[in-house]
Amino acid sequence: MEQTSQPPLIGANIRARRTKQGLTLNVLAERSGVSKAMLSQIESDKVNPTVAMVWKIARGLDVDINELLAGSGEPVRHFHLTRHDDIPVLDTDEEGLHMRVLTPLSLVEDLEMYLLTFSPGGELRSRPHFPRTEEFLTVIEGHIRVRVGERVEDLRAGDFIRYQCDIEHDIENAADATALVHMVVRFHTTGLA
């Protein structure tokens, strides 16, 4: 349950942040993927943008979406609680893997957090992510093997690893017991084409 307020002048907030950064509508359109015409209408408060569209614009401005929604100039204070029973479970094609998504939807493709449970022999094989994306793993229980490109490391409970995951990478349970891993994915997409 995340609480944020949504004032009626989102367009003015977008315009203020765009002009403060010295960006033209054309540049913001390129960065955000929202057309110049639509940005102009949003900034003039002629249309009410969807949350997804405001999120794209926030990414283009490299600001938190709540800064555009809050608009007061005061820092936005986040307080987000998800109860255990409300944490979404992500079904994958990987056998022996159970993923719980800890991240609020507003952070997707910015900073994502997961709790991974690997049955014996379970694995997560991943294709390359966006350039410069990183993963941070903490092994809570068990024994896992991490392969990133040609590098391979075995980790046990209490071990931590950080690596660039913009190449093929795998995580597998390397033991006969269940492994529990906390994973954080940090994207660095700002300024990338």
Query: Which tens digit of pLDDT belongs to each residue from 29-85?
Result: 999 999 999 999 888 888 888 878 888 898 899 888 877 876 545 555 667 788 888
Q: Kindly state the tokens that stand for 23.
A: 């960006």
Q: Both 104 and 140 in a single domain? A: yes
- Round to whole Å and give the CA distance between 71 and 69: 6
pTM greater than the 0.85 cutoff: no
> Could you tell me if 113 and 91 lie in one domain?
yes
> Is residue 107 domain-shared with residue 172, that is, in the same domain?
yes
Output the pLDDT for position 2. 43
Tell me, what's the pLDDT at 171? 97
Judged by average pLDDT, the poorest of 1-15, 80-94, 126-140, 143-157 is 1-15
CA 189: distance to chain centroid? 10
| Residue 62 lies in domain | 10-70
C-alpha to C-alpha distance for 58 and 14, rounded to whole angstroms: 8
Whether 29 is covered by a domain: the verdict is yes
- State the Cα–Cα distance between residues 164 and 133, nearest whole angstrom: 6
Q: Do β-strands 143-148 and 134-141 pair in parallel, antiparallel, or remain unpaired?
A: unpaired
Digit-coded pLDDT (tens) for 84-120: 888 888 766 677 898 998 887 767 667 899 999 999 9
Per-residue pLDDT at 75: 56
